[in-house]
Amino acid sequence: MVVRACVIGGYGINADCELRDAFAMAGSEAARVHVQDLLDRPSEIDRYHILAFPGGFSFGDHLGSGRVLAALFKRHLKEALDRFVSSGRLVIGVCNGFQVLVKMGILPNLRGGWTPEVSLIHNDTGLFEDSWVRLSFNRASPCLWTRGLAEAELPIRHGEGRFIVGSEEIMRRMEESGLVALRYEGRNPNGSLGAVAGITDPSGRILGLMPHPEAFLRPEQHPRWARERFEEGQGLALFRNGVEAVRRNL
């Protein structure tokens, strides 16, 4: 089957081309779709199997990272997105996209109903972090995107990546259910609780993460590529997982 990925663009989003290329390299048919087109016609997402929220600064982050886009999607597309996910389709949010998903409440969505339970706030350093980080993936996680992955090194570039939770109970439930899909190894660049770098929902079909897998698709994108001789960019496997999960399940 032809797997179609919808990569959202517009209004300050600036990593949509990279994300589109990632899905194309992973074997899907990827299209950049403007935010306003989805807001005007929510049923447009029914044409796709994967919905991707890229990094960037949607609406300039003027009211907080991802907050405006999250409010618009929750108001205008909640019904369409609920239908999208319940039909077995996949969603991913990278960096600003992750911020959007948690502020919508679609991640982790432990109680249902899209009630925000976690958030991403300013890095504890008070600085914009732009570096490469080591990551470990949770093999016990239900996440379809990270299945079979063990570790990777990916870049981060964010000012608000510190993961926090609304209560200890929420963190306990996330840990017990394997919803922490990936963690920072070694250096925790933003002070995230539990070194959390990305989470999934209970279905395993929605993933949000702060590192940028779409920024390491080719060996030459890594700063040590000439010395370490990567066969391919380590971020590509995550997108292949998503595309293959659609093929298996739909």
Q: Give the residue extent of every domain in the chain.
A: 4-249
If you count them, how many residues does the chain have?
250
What's the pLDDT at 63?
A: 81
What's the pLDDT at 61?
A: 86
Indicate if 95 belongs to the active site. yes
Indicate if 34 belongs to the active site. no
Which stretches of the chain score pLDDT less than 70? Answer: none
Which of 49, 129, 158, 212 is labelled catalytic? 212
Indicate if 143 belongs to the active site. no
Which of 6, 95, 117, 153 is labelled catalytic? 95
The class that CATH gives domain 4-249 is: alpha beta
CA nearest to 54, candidates 85, 87, 23: 23
pTM given for the model: 0.97
Q: Are 20 and 30 in contact (CB under 8 A)?
A: yes
Coil, strand, or helix at residue 198? strand
What's the pLDDT at 64?
A: 84
Give me the residues paired with residue 183 across strands: 136, 196
- In b/e form, how buried is each residue of 83-100, taking b as 16+ CB within 10 angstroms? ebbeeebbbbbbbbbbbb
Which of 18, 129, 153, 214 is labelled catalytic? 214
